[in-house]
Structure 1
Amino acid sequence: MNSKPKIVVLGAGYAGLKTTKELTKLFTPEEADIILVNKHNYHYESTWLHEVAAGTINPNQARFMISDVINPNRVRLIYDLVEKVDTENQRVVLENGELTYDYLVFALGFETNTFGIKGMAENAFSIVDIESSRLIREHIELKFAQYNNNPESKESDLTILVGGAGFTGIEFVGELAERVPQLCKKYDIDRRKVRIINVEAMPSILPMFDKDLVEYAKKSLADRGVEFRLGTAINECTEDSFIVGDDNEEIKAGTIVWTGGVTGSSVLGESGFELTRGKVTVNSDLRAPGFDNVFVLGDCAWVMDEEAGRPFPPTAQAAMQHADICARNVKSLVHGGPLEDFVFHDRGTVASLGVTDGIGSVFDGKPLKGKAAAAMKKVVDNRSVFLLGGTKTLLKKGKFRPF
């Protein structure tokens, strides 16, 4: 009879994959069975998806095979879709089967949140995974390829509308500012015919940065052809437009991408967890309230900053820090030791504005902009790949292209 505890990790994003790696260091094969469940047989760097969507990097650069970094002889790898967690019976329902668990790590990542904007879910693209990002890339290029060869083409077909001016939206338009001139040259199109329009209901962009850095970012992007419609609410998304503002102005476009919000995996709700804005507000030890053996991490969790009275930002660095504490706390549960509270170590934030430009706040608030910020962004991206995939994966997938 197998008396070893069974630890099941759901999701191979930043939090899930890092947790799995840490668990293999903390437990011998004789101490515990570790199972990792993921929809795909690869991990993708979700903070690189805007580059895939714009077409500035190849989709394969942003992902690597899970079996290249997790030994299948050490961890049971299951590639399947999670439908529901039956917490009462400690059971995970998959599309093609089911699993039982003694300890569960829920890290299934994010889904798009359209905040109920009419037509947005049906008519706009979203940057959520490799395939959705690849679809955007291909759609944009198709619009350029068709423009001079289709007598029914309209100039608005070359307009790219981006809803939302948070991290993903701004980094995406920054990559588009790099990619559009290349597409214009490739398909013999006047650059002045192409519009990149960013629409945001709030009065500014990137609210996590100070005013001077925000102004720098806006000017940098505007100088490269990005138009901003700030303080402009999106009332509706049609097949080829946003309807915006109090006067219901229509902005036509050939490509519409929504980046304005995300929420935790819908499996949380299907499984009966208590949710706040689509996520679980976890205890200080990262366990779901009411459950001794269920941890919720990454984009599925609100982890409270008690001093600030609000959740920590749901970033990749936070997700990987969740993983470290979670793995140690699982070990403590198995062996009867004390649990640790999560303490966030903020190493700063950097946003890219294209290949050679960016803004950031690092090392206790030191501001960065321009090439220095772009270089730091590459360091951050490479560090993530190294922590998850090791040196071999970093050498294959890392960003080493000089400016």
Structure 2
Amino acid sequence: MREPGRSDGAIRPGIAAGALRPWCSNRCGGVLQLPFLDACALGGSGTGIARGRRGCGSLRSAGGVVTHVVFVGLGFGGLYTLRRLVDGAVAGLRVTAIDRRDRFVFTPLLYEYLVGELAADVVAPPYAELVPEGVELVTDEVRSIDVRARTIQLAGGRTLTFDVLVLSPGSVPAFHGVEGAETEAVPFYSLSDAERLRIVLDTGAWARGGLPACVVGGGVVGVELAFALAERLERGGAGPRATEQPSVIVLEALDEILRGVTPQMRRMVKKKLARRGVQVRTGVRVLEVAPHAIVFRSGDRTERVEAAAIAWAAGIRVNPLIERLPAERHGNHGVRVERTLQLPGYPHVFVLGDAIAYPGRVMGEPLPDTAQAAVQEAEVCAANVRSLIENGLPREHFRFSNLGMFLRVNRHEAIADIKGVVVDGVVASLARQAAYVVRLPLWALRTAAIRQWLGLEEAEEVEVRRERRRAA
């Protein structure tokens, strides 16, 4: 007998008494078993996931048990898993989706919004338009998750219980303890970040040509952001380019920008940045971010640079919700999960997106924190949640396939590395647009993006109409 009050032995909300079975067909001891938490579903030891044969139980029974699946976080991993799962028409399914924001952000296209190429409703459509009918959408912040008791506490005071949890809360900017960075610098990970940066640029000394903009971080986000800032300056017809100052300064702590890309791609990027008046400083350590100024150390010298705007793209860290999970961490790269994307020891919890370090029992190369990885995870996660509910045992293993990378330069130019083949110019730009447009979650969004890219519809006009509708 289990001790009174132990959550692993109680009949939880959402699991009817009829779902409990008096014996196990796989001879796990002949005692009452909770669905998918018996010894077979846990691989016999309670620490792993059995594979290759049917589990002892499922979340459904002949009596029509309702299974409550809760999604925490609706980024690429969470939203795409949700849409695939609901489209699969699993019977007896109740779904709740929680996110603190009211909009999904297609982050690879956030640069297009910054330069006015795509409208906000294309890059960041409301969740109300994306979440399938019948799903309860909750806009609130999650305060805590108890994976043992299967409860979620929301900031608004509500407590939710779940049978299956899909956890994809995303990440948060890493400010590395730099004084003033969190308050004075503008990160670039959400629509509100991009809107804030647009306001700063349009109303500050940068737009008048007085001061440069600084980007902290020379990874993919920082470099694409530098290109976007230079493009926005060119479109405005003003800026520091008329003086001896660079238009944009990129500050990178390492000796090279774009760590991890091929040398050929890095050389292309450097040439294109230089042509657009972007200065790259490597091997620098940022010490302080002040209003309209940044202090950093380069070699033996400490420098202070006046800046109209300071954008922060110096990496991300794991969401605090993930830090509190009873799971093995891997530095700043999230938690280890099973190859089925389940949390070890908690087969009712699936983790994906930036929250994952690497799948499998043997430590490997951390998964990239990219939309590409999250979309691939979503396909496996949806299949495994469905299999867990219907059969009691997930069957799909996740294997990341790197399809390449794109780096936007401007509206008509990009650099692409596809399976080791590096191309640039218009061809790369068209390939990038095609790759992203097919991944937009709705056909209406794809059509709108194509129309705005082709110039058949101006993003600014769409924004004006949106503001008028909101004001009406």
- The Cα shift of 1:85 comes to 0.8
In structure 2, relative to structure 1, the CA distance for the partners of 1:370 and 1:143 (3 Å cut) is: same
- The Cα shift of 1:60 comes to 3.0
| 2:75 paired with 1:13 | yes
- The Cα shift of 1:125 comes to 1.0
Corresponding position of 1:291: 346
- The Cα shift of 1:274 comes to 4.3
In structure 2, relative to structure 1, the CA distance for the partners of 1:19 and 1:235 (3 Å cut) is: same
Give the whole-Å Cα distance in 2 for the aligned partners of 1:78 and 1:98. 12
* 1:358/1:373 contact within 8 Å kept: yes
- The Cα shift of 1:338 comes to 4.3
1:199 to 245, 251, 270: 251
| 2:315 paired with 1:257 | no
- Name which of structure 1's ranges 75-84 and 302-311 shifts more when overlaid on structure 2: 302-311
Structure 2 gaps of 5+ residues are: 1-13, 17-64, 456-472
Structure 1 gaps of 5+ residues are: 149-154
Q: Deviations over 1:73-113 (max 9, x none)?
A: x2121121112112221011112212110000011112101
In structure 2, relative to structure 1, the CA distance for the partners of 1:225 and 1:308 (3 Å cut) is: farther
1:353 to 397, 402, 409: 409
* 1:286/1:303 contact within 8 Å kept: no
Aligned residue for 2:342, secondary structure, equals coil
2:150 to 67, 78, 90: 90
* 2:96/2:135 contact within 8 Å kept: yes
* 2:207/2:236 contact within 8 Å kept: no
> Larger helix proportion, structure 1 or 2?
1
1:282 to 337, 348, 363: 337
Kindly tell me the number of residue pairs found equivalent between the two proteins: 388
In structure 2, relative to structure 1, the CA distance for the partners of 1:398 and 1:40 (3 Å cut) is: farther
Give the whole-Å Cα distance in 1 for the aligned partners of 2:136 and 2:401. 31
**Sequence identity of aligned pairs in percent?**
24
* 1:285/1:340 contact within 8 Å kept: yes
Q: Which residue identity is paired with 1:266?
A: P
Corresponding position of 2:232: 179
- The Cα shift of 1:25 comes to 2.4
Instruction: Choose 1 or 2 for highest CA Rg.
Output: 2
Aligned residue for 1:293, secondary structure, equals strand
- The Cα shift of 1:276 comes to 2.8
- The Cα shift of 1:212 comes to 1.4
Aligned residue for 2:400, secondary structure, equals coil
Corresponding position of 1:24: 86
- The Cα shift of 1:210 comes to 1.0
Q: Which residue identity is paired with 1:22?
A: R
RMSD across aligned C-alpha pairs, in angstroms? 2.6
* 1:50/1:127 contact within 8 Å kept: no
Equivalences for residues 229-268 of structure 1 within 5 A:
229-239=281-291, 240-245=293-298, 246-268=300-322
Give the whole-Å Cα distance in 2 for the aligned partners of 1:348 and 1:188. 35
Aligned residue for 2:176, secondary structure, equals coil
Q: Deviations over 1:102-148 (max 9, x none)?
A: 00001111210122233322321111211121001111111148849
Give the whole-Å Cα distance in 1 for the aligned partners of 2:241 and 2:256. 31
- Name which of structure 1's ranges 118-127 and 4-13 shifts more when overlaid on structure 2: 118-127
1:76 to 131, 136, 148: 136
- Name which of structure 1's ranges 35-44 and 392-401 shifts more when overlaid on structure 2: 392-401
Q: Which residue identity is paired with 1:353?
A: V
Corresponding position of 2:174: 113
* 1:14/1:298 contact within 8 Å kept: yes
Aligned residue for 2:104, secondary structure, equals strand
Corresponding position of 1:152: none
| 2:218 paired with 1:165 | yes
1:341 to 385, 389, 397: 397
* 2:75/2:169 contact within 8 Å kept: yes
| 2:164 paired with 1:103 | yes
- Name which of structure 1's ranges 35-44 and 123-132 shifts more when overlaid on structure 2: 35-44
Equivalences for residues 356-375 of structure 1 within 5 A:
356-362=412-418, 364-375=419-430
* 2:414/2:428 contact within 8 Å kept: yes
Aligned residue for 2:200, secondary structure, equals helix
Q: Deviations over 1:155-190 (max 9, x none)?
A: 3xx2100011111101111111111122244x9994
In structure 2, relative to structure 1, the CA distance for the partners of 1:209 and 1:137 (3 Å cut) is: same
Give the whole-Å Cα distance in 1 for the aligned partners of 2:207 and 2:220. 31
